[in-house]
A and B are shown apart, each in its own frame.
Chain A
Amino acid sequence: MRISERVGLFIERFREQGGVVELVQSWDEVLDFIVREARASSGPEAIATCDEKRLESIRNSLDGVSRLVGPHAQPTEIANCSLGISFPEAGIAETGSILEICYDDSDRLVSTLPPTHIAYLESSKILEGLLDAAPLIRRASKQKAFAATIISGPSRTADIELRQVIGVHGPHIVKVILEV
């Protein structure tokens, strides 16, 4: 499958599953998007987990808009954030999913506790099939401990009278900022 087909399939399936995909063309656009989201969000804080270089640029962009918490913040702090920003290892076209690999559980909480989860993904990281994610997980398993999570949209339940409710214990909104 060509990269454009993989990207197309990923977008189509992630959206079908209730996720949002925003296309951007540069890191500056990503920062603009994050600032817009932070401005629009109801809570006082945003949070990021990423390498120091990106962290700094996000922090600078959010200056005066929102406080940036983390990485490696305490769970109660993360629970008070309205936005979690994560940087998945990959996208999976076949299942319309993103793959996150974390080595500290506070990083996992970034995509679990805040009501909105924003995930930055470069289109070159989109894999075709679910099994293509296996080598990435195996690589992570070289570490003493890890948690790999394949996320396919916002959290959901239909446990009461089969009524579909989006947003239970995990995020209500999951947005992938896809750099193409």
Chain B
Amino acid sequence: MTPYGALEERVRRRLRQGPVRGLYAAMLRGLRGRAKAIAEMGDYEAFRSEARRIKERSIERLSELVDVFSRNAEERGVRVYFARDGDEAVKIIAGIARDARARLVAKSKSLTSEEILLNEGLEAQGLNVVETDLGERIIQLAREKPSHLVFPAIHKTIEDVSQLFSEEARGEVSSDIQEIMRYVRQRLREVFLTADIGLNGANVAIAEMGAVVLETNEGNGRLTSSLPRVQIVLVGMEKIVETVEEALILARAHAVAATGQRLTTYVSIMAGRSPMAGNGSREMHIVILDNGRSRMVGDDVFREALYCIRCGACMNVCAPYSVTGGHIFGHIYPGPIGIPWTANIHGLGEASFAHLCISCGLCKEVCPISINIPLMISRVKNLLASRYGYPKADRSMMRYEALGKLASQLAPVSNWVLKSRASRFLLEKLVGLDRTAPLPEFRRETFVKRFNRIRQEVPIPRARVALFLDFFPNYCRPEIAESLVIALQLAGVKVELPPQLTSGYPLIAYGDWDGAKKYAVKNVELLSSYVEQGYSIVSIEPTATYTLKHIYPYLLKGDERAEALSRNTVEALQVLRRLVGEGVLAVKARSEKRYGIHVPCHQRPLSGAENIVALMRAAGLEAEVIEDGMCCGMAGTFGMKHGPIGRGLSKTMGVRLFELFASRGVEAIVTESSVCAIHIEDGAHMKVFHPLDILYFEKPS
């Protein structure tokens, strides 16, 4: 079975069982906590930029910082080791334990130790390794892997936990939370007091003073790092920064993004080995781990993964992860950032869970370091395709432009064919298009064909815009683009329709970088002359706008024209809102309803809901944004693909949002994304409109 086939099987099983219990609630808790903490911080974006600059600087100077850190720690009497890979790190740590004649190791949660299977390595040497973080202890007893970075045992019920501890205690530990906590406290207190070695990771390391920073909420890190005679710290080399100020900023960024705390309850900054009650015969060992990190520094795409501070925010916003959990959406490193980490540290063969990524891009938006996780994932998909080929449905979906053109040329016959059960069955078998997925109707008269009919000369234009259409407004919803052009011309704006391709985003979503670059090069070439003449490029579909603004400059790094195109691309509703604000246009509602607004993922780094809310309110409509902060599950063409990694997952992801819409008592839904609209209308059983369906524009009276 191919890795993709095996992944499909696991997702299919998960879908039959339903989403991982408790996980969605944990994710929402993280997201809401984060939002609250950010609201209190004032200029969060400036803080975020500073945090990113710190990581950029540190990785740029990594080998120098490793040297400075090592020298400063050694000057304090600390033994510092450099491990090239996981095996070497395990050997070093086992050697320290042997020299110390250790039997019992009290360990504080460390993802880096999981990366190198440290517990297994030490246990093979006869050591008793006890995890002391509650969640980690639970999964250690269950012999499982963490399913979430911050809440590793979130998939376990309190009854599961009581059973695990009862087995350990060889007596009953009831499922009362306080009794469980009493037991854990007592049991682990013995471990802390009698352990020969305290083993922990480091959230950050500070070169200027050879110090490590350890954050825990439970206080276990303080005990593992103080009580045992021998302390061992395993540090991924990417954790080193230069100064204590930088470390404090990262500690703050970590807490805010992970749980919404201002800081983790205990942030310990430790340098050298302090005496215990005056007794100085104590040891500190620091093992700096490379394990592929140096190679990543030299990789233009994957270097950014080293900026990760392990807050887990990216998994809190990831809709497919919310269904599958970290055991499927992960190898050892779970979630979105786990994909580039796994591909680089554990090998591409373990990273096939990249196919679960729906390319919504939200992981980058919540990342406190603004790591471009989506494009690293796309790159992993690209490498997977080179090794294993593209999954059938992905290959078909990447031909969307040719298929759309054909369907449009053959309309209305194509629409009839697409409604026939027999042809849908065949399409499912042949191209992987799910037979139950709702499809748009194709128009024979595309917008490109309509444009000359509606185009007006504007002798003294107030502004000049060039339309960027993308797939849906051309082939399926030309009336939206038409409404836009009519409104713009009414306001005295000159509108042109340059020759263009669609955005090509599906190719990025499925990992065809060469193909996506061709789209980027062509569109930049076609649109640039308009940009140079002072036209704004006005884009209707959020994904197309996002591609022009954020993807092309990345794909065509250093290309001035791509940068200029990005700067001059504007959302259609933003232009309309400006014209209304300037009193050039008046906005009116076609019908009075209570609307719920859905914000498409790719619109979040653009205007979010600002423009749509402002225009609807100006038209006297009641409008409420309804969201859980995650993707609706459609994710472009992902929800049209047959199979568990497609329509199956897509429907399950959507259910929660559909229920949310139903619970708010709205009469209809409005969204700017055409694909989200198809999915939500199908799932929520509610009419979904584009804002330009329900709004119209007039000259102010």
Interface, chain A (partner B; CB < 8 A): 13, 17, 72-76, 79, 94-97, 102-106, 108-109, 112-113, 130-131, 133-134, 137-138, 141, 143-163, 165, 167-171
Contact = CB atoms under 8 A, between A and B. Distances in A.
B22 A169 contact: no
Interface in B212-248: 217-220, 222-223, 225-227, 243-245, 248
Contacts of A106: 276-277
A104 B277 contact: yes
A72 B277 contact: yes
B274 interface: yes
A73 B278 CA distance: 9
A160 B275 contact: no
Top-6 shortest CB links A-B: A170-B219, A145-B272, A159-B135, A155-B219, A168-B218, A169-B219
A147 B226 contact: yes
A29 B245 CA distance: 36
A167 B272 contact: no
A163 B274 contact: no
A114 B280 CA distance: 23
Given A105-B226, A156-B217, A145 B273 contact: yes
Contacts of A108: 222, 226, 274
A150 B263 contact: yes
A165 B227 CA distance: 24
Contact of B244 (A138, A154, A168, A170): A138
B31 interface: no
Give the interface residue-count category, chain B. Answer: 35 or more
Given A131-B248, A134-B245, A168-B134, A163 B177 contact: yes
28 contacts: A73-B277, A105-B227, A130-B249, A145-B273, A145-B274, A145-B275, A146-B271, A146-B274, A149-B266, A149-B267, A151-B266, A152-B264, A152-B265, A152-B266, A152-B267, A153-B265, A156-B265, A159-B134, A159-B135, A159-B152, A159-B153, A160-B153, A161-B154, A162-B25, A168-B134, A168-B184, A168-B218, A168-B219
A74 B268 CA distance: 21
B71 to A, nearest CB: 14
Nearest to A16: B262
B574 interface: no
A76 B193 CA distance: 7
Contact of A96 (B26, B134, B153, B262): B262
Contacts of B248: 130-131, 133-134
A169 B192 contact: yes
Given A75-B227, A137-B244, A159-B133, A168 B277 contact: no
Interface stretch (B156-164, B316-324, B649-657): B156-164
A105 to B, nearest CB: 4
A137 to B, nearest CB: 5
A13 B262 contact: yes
Does more than half of chain A's interface fall in helix, strand or loop, or is it mixed?
A: loop
B274 A103 contact: yes
Contacts of A170: 218-219, 222, 265-266
Contact of A162 (B22, B264, B271, B276): B22
B211 interface: yes
B266 A155 contact: yes
Nearest to B135: A159
Contacts of B178: 165
Given A112-B223, A168-B218, A95 B263 contact: yes
By CB atoms of chain B within 10 A, which of A97, A133, A155 has the most?
Answer: A155
Chain B interface, >50% SS class? mixed
Given A104-B278, A145-B273, A159-B138, 6 more contacts: A17-B261, A73-B277, A105-B226, A149-B222, A157-B134, A160-B161
A96 B264 CA distance: 11
Contacts of A130: 248-249, 252, 263
A135 to B, nearest CB: 9
A134 B22 contact: no
Interface of B: 22, 25-26, 29, 76-77, 132-135, 138, 151-154, 156-158, 161, 177-178, 180-181, 184-185, 188-189, 192-193, 208-209, 211, 217-220, 222-223, 225-227, 243-245, 248-249, 251-252, 261-278, 282
A7 B219 CA distance: 26
A138 B248 CA distance: 12
Nearest to A158: B151
A145 B211 CA distance: 9
Contacts of A148: 268-270
B181 A102 contact: no
Contacts of A161: 22, 154, 157-158
Nearest to A73: B277
A141 B274 CA distance: 12
A157 to B, nearest CB: 5
Contacts of A171: 219
B694 to A, nearest CB: 39
A151 B265 contact: yes
A43 to B, nearest CB: 14
A152 B151 contact: no
A120 B181 CA distance: 29
Nearest to A148: B269
Nearest to A154: B265
B277 A74 contact: yes
B70 to A, nearest CB: 16
B216 to A, nearest CB: 8
Contacts of A145: 76-77, 271-275
A180 to B, nearest CB: 23
Contacts of A155: 217-219, 265-266
B220 A94 contact: no
A148 B215 CA distance: 12
A95 B252 contact: yes
B181 A165 contact: yes
A135 B572 CA distance: 50
Contacts of A157: 134-135, 217-218
A17 B266 CA distance: 12
Contact of B262 (A17, A103, A146, A147): A17
B67 to A, nearest CB: 18
A20 to B, nearest CB: 15
B177 A165 contact: yes
A108 to B, nearest CB: 5
Contacts of A113: 223
A161 B22 CA distance: 7
A145 B275 CA distance: 8
Contact of B276 (A13, A75, A131, A146): A75
Contacts of B264: 152
B276 A137 contact: no
Contact of A160 (B29, B158, B211): B158
A134 B158 CA distance: 41
